[in-house]
Structure 1
Amino acid sequence: MAEVHAVKEPETIQLVSHLLKIRHSQQMADVWDLGLNLALRISDLLSITFRDIDGDRLVLRESKTGKLATIHLNPKAQKIIQRIRDEHPHHLYLFQSYRNQQSRHRTPRPITRRAVGKAFELVGEELKIALGTHSMRKTRGYHLYQATNDIARVMQMLRHRSAGVTLRYIGVTQDEIDRDFRELVL
């Protein structure tokens, strides 16, 4: 599996969403847009059910760590969720597979990580960037770090235990750290 990166330019973030919508589906664009706003691992993002959403909060147990994540939903996330809920009032999952609707007797399932990964990879190839299912989480972390320079906040948001891991994860390179030391003179 190739390493994927955070999307660092705001214009490119919007372009990824647009290309996912026109090349693949609104659902893939929604995965991207919501994933950017929730910073969840892809497995947790795709497993969200409407029961996990309580007003302006998302509450779920992370599959990798077993930790309980309580996330305040910002207005953009709330708007996306409400639109999906209005369009698909009988869905169990926020990102429910449409293929599953072909048989009334099948248990509902979310779209697969593989389908999302393929759509993201194709858009990434078109834009010549390493894009994958972790790119949403990495992008959110990267931009929070750029806005605050507070690695502890980014670690909390991503629920990481190590600053070094978090810095590598969001793509902050040694050159950027060196530049910060040069430019910040006290």
Structure 2
Amino acid sequence: MDYVEAFRDIKQINAIKKYLKNHSERDLLFFVIGINTGLRINEILEIKVCDVLDEKGSIKNFFSLPAYDHHPEKQIYLNAKAKSALSHYLETSKLQSDDYLFVSPKTKKPITRQQAHRIIHQAVDALGIDGRFGASSMRKTFGFHAYKQGVALSLIQKYYHHSTPSETLKYLGISKDEGIQTVIDVNL
């Protein structure tokens, strides 16, 4: 797989959201979930409607991903932007509780990894964004912006299951010499 980079520019992220909103609510949700949860593509594609809704039909604050391979069960937080996109998508789609969130209309199964990559590539190409981007850019974007906002590198490293801080920095495309200004906004 080719190396891809994080979306560092908030203006580019917003432009991609706008493009995807005009193209497909499903694809917009895919991007919003990807950049706001830092999940792997295979984890995103396996999410079902029932995973994100409670018994009353409200969107959960957290949902669980089952353990697999060497990865333990994981609690995923849905922030306000993810919940808003989910709410809008679920209101406008005709998905049932057991349906995959990112369902292919042709197969009724989740979209493929190839389709996930195509969604990002088409948006980036249409907007003329330079760089090497793909579906994995969403996961890297989450980590990059978490780091920039003051989340400890050790927490990001643990979230990604990396063995060293330097592995995490390399994954995020951050060099030790890079002067990233961290903003810790408590916003009390």
TM range (shorter): 0.7 to 0.9
Summarize the alignment of residues 1-186 of structure 1 with structure 2, pairs less than 5 Å apart.
1-22=1-22, 24-53=23-52, 54=54, 55-61=60-66, 63=68, 65-86=70-91, 87-90=93-96, 92-100=99-107, 108-125=108-125, 126-148=128-150, 150-176=152-178, 179=179
- Distance change (3 Å), C-alpha of 1:51 and 1:26: closer
Cα contact 1:59–1:68 (8 A) shared by 2: yes
Q: TM-score, normalised by structure 1?
A: 0.81
| CA–CA separation in structure 1 for the residues paired with 2:13 and 2:67 | 25
Give the CA deviation at 1:168.
0.7
The alignment covers a number of residue pairs equal to: 170
Q: Mind listing any 5+ residue stretches in structure 1 that lack a counterpart?
A: 101-107, 181-186
Give the CA deviation at 1:120.
1.2
| CA–CA separation in structure 2 for the residues paired with 1:156 and 1:142 | 14
Q: Mind listing any 5+ residue stretches in structure 2 that lack a counterpart?
A: 55-59, 181-188
Q: Secondary structure at the match of 2:115?
A: helix
Q: TM-score, normalised by structure 2?
A: 0.80
Code of the aligned partner of 1:25: S
Root-mean-square deviation over aligned CA pairs: 2.0
| CA–CA separation in structure 1 for the residues paired with 2:157 and 2:137 | 16
What is the aligned-residue identity percentage? 28
| CA–CA separation in structure 2 for the residues paired with 1:129 and 1:156 | 27
Give the CA deviation at 1:63.
4.6
When you count helix as a share of all residues, which structure comes out higher? Answer: 1
